[in-house]
Structure 1
Amino acid sequence: MPEGDCRPHDTPARTRALDTVTEAEVEALVRGICFKTGPPRTTGVELEWLVHEPGLPHKTVPTARLEAAYAALRALPLHSLITVEPGGQLELSSLPAPSLMECISAMRADLRVVRDALHSHQLTLSGFGADPWRPPARILHEPRYDAMESCFDRAGPSGRRMMCSTASVQICLDAGHEEPGPLGYARRWRLAHLLGPVLVAAFANSPLQDGRGTGWRSTRQAIWAGIAPGRSGAPPLDGEPRETWTRHALDAPVMCVRDLDDSAGQTAWPVPDGLTFRAWTRSKAPRAPTREDLDYHLTTLFPPVRPRGHLELRMVDAQPGEDGWIVPLAVTAALFDDPEAAETAYRAVKPLAERAGPPGSPAAPQSPLWLDAARHGPADAELREAAVACFAAAADALPRMGVSTDVRDAVVTYGAQYVARGRCPADDLLDALRHGGAPGPRPLDDTPHGSPHDTRHDTRHDTPGKDARR
């Protein structure tokens, strides 16, 4: 998938494509770049949006119209990098900002410009974690996306849904100090994985697919859980983060082998079956891997938390409204970068580790805890309790971080309106559709499967992604 660059640190210059790498060199490279430590100073955000005609979110926009609009956007003087996802979703990736407020201000300004430009093309942006009505349809046809689709199709339809129909708020934070403590990189790595399901639940905003309820508050997260663990899963959390991530990355399957000689991008890329990057360095077939192959391989791994020098938190659904994305960004940044809030958050979410399952259980996002978060949202009592504590800690921290009153008020209002009541934006959409108050080509079932108000049957341990694939 196209990658925005809001990295808090620069990566080393890439070597020439013909510079091959050995297994030992790959291990050293990954171990050296996955966590770049130092005081947390910068913040970034990547916002993905669904694009459609105003008032017609269920209508497919012709590819030519999207391409014309996106060409115009690329000519705009923006601070953010604009990229397009395979299904036409628009992504804005901020530059690393020296403070949370500077990140928010820069992205707000860019979004105003982008929305005005899209308006002239009779298009608008919507924040949903997964497209509620339109089927997945790929508009980008390049060798890497052809290979990605072929790779995903081996495991079922979730991969195509992920590529073409999902959108998120991705939050980028520095890895943290080398030394132990609330802001140490090892603690922040663990906090990200324990806080992750709380964020999934609190901001779930994708309960529909093909115009009907899926049984999940976050269908987007269910889709990710339906992708092969080697591609979407997290590494074990019971070891040193650099070592566990390096082992995970090398033992993950290679998505494709790029054609180094095809500068025009016309040749199909081979899609090996079951070839790990470690095995590739040993076999050197179909050709020896290069440093650029390693860089590309790391971008084809989609765990909920991805170490790219900084930490990239990928579990939050795209949010409704023009400024809905600000609340998850502000809450998460406060819980990571304010030492007092980080300690409070860690104590609040630490008990959730028991619900991740015994040793050997599936890792996030396939673990029982993450699936419960995606299915039930904050209607899950334990997740709601942790979310309430985390929102309170974030609200206390934001003034210390110099955050403006309107952002602080937005966090407090969201906590009272949703989290404290065991609700999330997905519930608003379900309620509106149930009563005919939201646009959509087909009605929603009277009671969504897995709703906290539906006691007909407990679905919390159903197969991941089963309902989301209907």
Structure 2
Amino acid sequence: MTPLRPGLTAVQSAPEQQAVETPEPLSESAALSHLSGICFKIGPPALVGVESEWFVHDALVPTAPVAPSRLAEALGALPVHQGPDGPRLPSGSVLTREPGGQVELSSPPAATPEDCADLLLADQAVLRTTFAAHGLRLTGSGTDPLERERRMGLDHPRYLAMECHFERANPWGRVMMTGTASAQVCVDAGTEDGPLSQTRRWQLLHLLGPVLVAAFANSPLLDGLSTGHRSTRQLVWSRMDPTRTLAPAVDGDPRERWAEYVLDAEVICVRRPEGLPWTAPPGLTFRGWLRGEGERPATLADLEYHRTTLFPPVRPRGHLELRMVDAQPGGGWQVPLALVSALLDDPDAADAAFEALEPLDVPAYRDRLPPRTELWYRAATLAVADPQLRRAALACFALADRSLARRGAPAARLRTALADFAERYPARGRCPADDQLDAVRSGALPLALEAAAC
């Protein structure tokens, strides 16, 4: 990753990112110190980024699997240039491909959410137009809503090791890799203290998490069948390896909590020379590796790679990456972008959001239980049909609207998108998942295949 400034690095998710290898074994104290120093870049919030994933469907036969060669051909037709962190589309968004054939665009960090949205919208238009020329369409949904064969389309040793690790316990890891998609918002970590401090932002994001799950729930189907949950994607994540999908405790110093979390997580990948598998021994934590339980001493590069295999709801990467929102149809990712940035970067809105979310803050939440608490389960199952979550969502949308109003004309488009979403969904006790369920009940396809033009 190429740093753009202290506080936020290039927003991307390519698995090949690797630190420079060092031959010296890494000590446990050095690992904790390193993690505490790099995962929260301190400074006034100044940049924001957004990532959006889509499933790829055949435009004529959406239930047919898309051959990897066909997807590769469409990707090869895109007007990309090589950046330091992977292929970039004309407006600077990084293009990546996920194991199940999903595609992702990660915006470059921008000074305002409006600029961020403009950049990703432009590159999304290029992506969908090129795919349309190849008879393919993008679908924004937290899980693939159609019954299609799910394949591991990538054979990188990382993904093969991940598949092996997750399938030791249950099938949900493979479902996650091949059948889920998200919209992610990335914000700066914050200052050392004050109203925009890293500790305060860390706590607010975790309180806001179940509200975001509920408001933007968009995955009620899996393999063509209703699961009984509005965000099946959230349930899939919650049933995987808890050492990497639970949130750390959100009280105390976030840097210390995160550093301990990283070391206590099980190792998925042990990188080895070409031709050898990267599969890690069962039950090996990174702390255990540092204490001599691995096949060789752990290095700083191993620690850096291990960090990329952790998937909590909020992931520190210098900046803070929100991972709990389902993929949205069309340009719907603009709404969580507007909501989160308005609540996080406006001190008055942040204070009011804490007050509005206070009823959701229970002691059990702070004891390293999310996303396993009843609240997260209700968010995934009932979404904003749950009265408590609906009230919290409406309060947060209203606060974000007032924050955007204070910014005046530049924020007008995102403010309109936010208001339209609030009126269509939480104000009516609905979420995007309900649109998919309505389509199923009417006999229509439970997804909107995006047209070529934005």
Structure 1 position 17, deviation (Å): 4.2
Q: Secondary structure at the match of 1:357?
A: helix
The residue correspondences of 1:367-446 to structure 2 (distance < 5 A) are 367-402=373-408, 403-438=410-445
Q: Distance in 2 between matches of 1:243 and 1:317?
A: 29
In the alignment, which residue of structure 2 is the partner of 1:357? 364
The residue correspondences of 1:62-211 to structure 2 (distance < 5 A) are 62-73=67-78, 75=80, 76-133=89-146, 134-181=148-195, 183-211=196-224
Q: Distance in 1 between matches of 2:23 and 2:357?
A: 46
**105 and 179 in structure 1: CA distance in 2 versus 1, 3 angstrom threshold:** same
Q: Distance in 1 between matches of 2:365 and 2:312?
A: 20
Q: Is the 8 A contact 1:6 1:46 kept in 2?
A: no
Unaligned runs of 5+ in 2: 11-16, 81-88, 448-454
Q: Secondary structure at the match of 1:437?
A: coil
Q: Secondary structure at the match of 1:315?
A: strand
Q: Secondary structure at the match of 2:361?
A: helix
Q: Is 1:311 matched up with 2:320? A: yes
In the alignment, which residue of structure 1 is the partner of 2:237? 224
Q: Distance in 2 between matches of 1:145 and 1:198?
A: 31
In the alignment, which residue of structure 2 is the partner of 1:335? 343
Q: Distance in 2 between matches of 1:406 and 1:46?
A: 19
Q: Is the 8 A contact 1:384 1:419 kept in 2?
A: yes
What amino acid maps onto 2:343 in structure 1? Answer: L
What amino acid maps onto 1:390 in structure 2? Answer: C
Structure 1 position 77, deviation (Å): 3.0
**394 and 359 in structure 1: CA distance in 2 versus 1, 3 angstrom threshold:** closer
What amino acid maps onto 1:400 in structure 2? Answer: R
In the alignment, which residue of structure 1 is the partner of 2:86? none
Q: Secondary structure at the match of 1:129?
A: coil
Q: Secondary structure at the match of 2:52?
A: strand
Q: Is the 8 A contact 2:365 2:373 kept in 1?
A: no
Q: Distance in 2 between matches of 1:13 and 1:359?
A: 33
**4 and 53 in structure 1: CA distance in 2 versus 1, 3 angstrom threshold:** farther
User: Which whole-Å deviations, capped at 9, do the CAs of 1:415-435 have from their partners, x for residues lacking one?
Assistant: 111111110010111112112
What amino acid maps onto 2:250 in structure 1? Answer: L
User: Which whole-Å deviations, capped at 9, do the CAs of 1:145-176 have from their partners, x for residues lacking one?
Assistant: 11000001012011001111111110000011
Q: Is 1:289 matched up with 2:298? A: yes
Q: Distance in 1 between matches of 2:377 and 2:79?
A: 38
In the alignment, which residue of structure 2 is the partner of 1:213? 226
Q: Secondary structure at the match of 2:332?
A: coil
Q: Distance in 1 between matches of 2:27 and 2:432?
A: 48
What amino acid maps onto 1:58 in structure 2? Answer: T
User: Which whole-Å deviations, capped at 9, do the CAs of 1:229-259 have from their partners, x for residues lacking one?
Assistant: 1021111122221111111111111112111
| Bigger shift: residues 307-316 or 75-84 | 75-84
Structure 1 position 87, deviation (Å): 0.5
In the alignment, which residue of structure 1 is the partner of 2:29? 24
| Identity fraction in percent | 50
Structure 1 position 16, deviation (Å): 2.7
TM-score scaled by length of structure 2:
0.90
Q: Distance in 1 between matches of 2:129 and 2:439?
A: 28
Structure 1 position 437, deviation (Å): 2.9
Count of residue pairs brought into register by the alignment: 430
What amino acid maps onto 1:43 in structure 2? Answer: V
In the alignment, which residue of structure 2 is the partner of 1:45? 50
Q: Is the 8 A contact 2:40 2:255 kept in 1?
A: yes
Q: Distance in 2 between matches of 1:115 and 1:10?
A: 26
| Bigger shift: residues 378-387 or 249-258 | 249-258
In the alignment, which residue of structure 1 is the partner of 2:450? none
Q: Is the 8 A contact 2:404 2:412 kept in 1?
A: no
Q: Distance in 2 between matches of 1:270 and 1:382?
A: 43
Unaligned runs of 5+ in 1: 441-470
Structure 1 position 95, deviation (Å): 1.1
In the alignment, which residue of structure 2 is the partner of 1:9? 8
**188 and 439 in structure 1: CA distance in 2 versus 1, 3 angstrom threshold:** closer
Q: Distance in 1 between matches of 2:38 and 2:188?
A: 13
The residue correspondences of 1:51-62 to structure 2 (distance < 5 A) are 51-54=56-59, 56-62=61-67
What amino acid maps onto 2:247 in structure 1? Answer: A
Q: Secondary structure at the match of 2:8?
A: coil
Q: Is the 8 A contact 1:4 1:82 kept in 2?
A: no
Q: Distance in 1 between matches of 2:350 and 2:63?
A: 41
